[in-house]
Amino acid sequence: MKQDALTPEKLREAYQHVWFVVARSQDIVTPQSATLLDQNLVVFRDSSGVARVTDRRCIHRGGNLADGVVAGDNIACPYHGWQFDGQTGRCAHIPSLPEGGRIPPKAEIKAYPVIERFGHVWTCLGDPVFDLPDPPEIADLELEWRSAEPIHAACGFMAATENFRDMAHFPFVHEPSMGEVDPVVSDLDVKRDGREVWATYYYEQIPSAKFSAVGDAQMQYHSYAPGIATILYDFGPETGKRYLVDFPSPVSYDKCIIFWGVATDRDFRGGSVDDILAVETMVFNEDTPVLEGLEPKEVPLAGQAFEVSAPADVYTLNYRRATQYAVQAIQQARGLTEEAAAGNGRVQVG
């Protein structure tokens, strides 16, 4: 695949077919505004508790449905009270119509598919090409989840995803939380298959660091390109396991909201899930200023900027290949490319 297939326009087109988070589950007690790939949306829970995502703009006179209220299974516009069904987007009620009045057939907004998983609400603007993953490494765990406060970051969502699963920045960005981590990154065991990438990193306890109060950890990274990255922390049989998820969501090409969360396994003895959330919040807050200083603001997949890589970037390079693979697979599924995704990301990475 040529790099021109990864221009911002082509990526935007492809990412219409990827699931992204648009809200935390706990926040949709009232309708919430969201923007995904420049599309304004409203996220709400209907009368039966099902999460719904529709366009935010009312097609009557442009009212903001996120300022509206839920009426049964509909979202009601704050301007003239038109109601739209959360599942179909069809206008279900126009208060100004006399008894028996006909709802115009074009009175419809777009409604999108929704999945709630990992404490978050996910949607896809087009037909999803990949399923939302069920990571096998947590299948046997009994997790208690906490969704973190989402972080609005002035950088692209791929740059945020890369940062989450980068190990070489620990001693420079995370000295306050992680302590004096050895800057040498060695023994990275990285594996990729299609859009999935795995890596393991051994974090040795640094007694002065808040982050490592619990002890040494085997950090098992698993990413699903383009925007899902996870870490299973295994502290050994005495202390147990905890889990960390990162779901940066593209507001636009160079802006994202980093949705993320933590979970502890039932046998975890390294602190409460709220303790873990507090420590990881510190870590995330250390990353944001660095992310916002990046040039360019998004990973230059089309070769827009010159970059040089070192061996410690092997996971990043594999994540980029996985992203290219994902985009290629989407383009193929959409009939936009002749090339087979069967090449498994056989593409050139800078």
Q: What residue type is assigned to position 335 of the chain?
A: G
Q: What are phi and psi of 133, to 5 degrees?
A: -70, 155
Contact in structure between 163 and 169 (CB atoms under 8 Å)? yes
CB-neighbour burial class of residue 282 (10 A; exposed 0-12, middle 13-18, buried 19+): middle
> In the stretch 274-303, what mask flags binding to Fe ion with x, by CB under 5 A?
-------------x----------------
Instruction: Please work out the total of residues on this chain that contact ligand FES, with binding judged by CB under 6 A.
Output: 10
Interacting positions 128-147 with Fe ion (CB under 5 A): none
CA 170 – CA 182 distance, rounded (Å): 9
Are 313 and 321 in contact, with CB atoms under 8 Å apart?
Answer: no
Least distance in angstroms from the C-beta of 98 to ligand FES: 17
Query: Nearest 5°: phi and psi at 226?
Result: -95, -15
Give dist(CA 93, CA 319) in Å, integer: 47
- Return the number of other C-beta atoms located less than 10 Å from residue 291's C-beta: 23
**Among 79, 116, 133, 174, interactor with ligand FES by CB under 6 A:** 79
Q: In the numeric block, which tokens belong to residue 19?
A: 């699931």
> Is position 77 an interface residue for ligand FES (rule: CB under 6 A)?
yes
Residue whose CB is less far from ligand FES, 97 or 340: 97
Residues that bind Fe ion (rule: CB under 5 A) add up to a total of: 1
Q: In the bound complex, what is the minimum distance in angstroms from residue 268's beta carbon to ligand FES? A: 48
162 vs 287 by CB, closer to Fe ion: 287
Q: Is there binding between residue 55 and Fe ion (CB under 5 A)?
A: no
Of 76 and 209, which CB lies nearer to ligand FES in the complex structure? 76
Does residue number 82 form part of the binding site for ligand FES (CB under 6 A)? yes
Tell me how far, at minimum, the Cβ of 71 lies from ligand FES, in Å: 12
User: Which residues, in sequence order, are CB contacts of 238 under 8 Å at separation 6+?
Assistant: 269
Residue 129 three-state SS: coil
58 binds, among ligand FES, Fe ion, none (CB under 5 to 8 A by kind): ligand FES
CA distances from 340 to 16, 328, 345 (A): 20, 8, 10
- Which of residues 55 and 234 has its CB atom nearest to ligand FES in the complex? 55
What does the per-residue mask of binding to ligand FES show for 43-62, with x meaning CB under 6 A?
Answer: ---------------x-xxx
**Out of ligand FES, Fe ion, none, which partner does residue 79 contact, by CB within 5 to 8 A per kind?**
ligand FES
Identity of the residue, 176 or 303, whose beta carbon is nearer to Fe ion in the bound complex: 176
61 contacts which partner out of Fe ion, ligand FES, none, CB within 5 to 8 A by kind? ligand FES
Q: How far is the CB of 170 from Fe ion (least distance, A)?
A: 7
**What character string, x for contact with Fe ion (CB under 5 A) and - otherwise, covers 235-274?**
----------------------------------------
Q: Does residue 234 bind Fe ion (CB under 5 A)?
A: no
139 phi and psi angles, rounded to 5 deg? -55, -35
In this complex, which beta carbon is closest to ligand FES, that of residue 58 or of residue 209?
58
Instruction: Give me the amino acid identity at 297.
Output: K
Minimum gap (Å) between residue 14 Cβ and ligand FES: 32
- Nearest to ligand FES of 79, 198 (CB atom): 79
Amino acid letter for position 107: A
Cα 241 to the chain's mean position, in Å?
Answer: 22
**Residue number, 78 or 194, with CB nearest to ligand FES:** 78
Contact of 122 with 20, CB cutoff 8 Å: yes
Question: What pairs with residue 111 in β-bridges?
Answer: 54
What one-letter code names the amino acid at 128?
P
d(CA 214, CA 5) in angstroms, rounded, equals 45
Query: Token pair of 333, please?
Result: 């599924």
53 vs 168, beta carbon nearer Fe ion: 168
Binding site for ligand FES (CB under 6 A): 58, 60-63, 77, 79-82
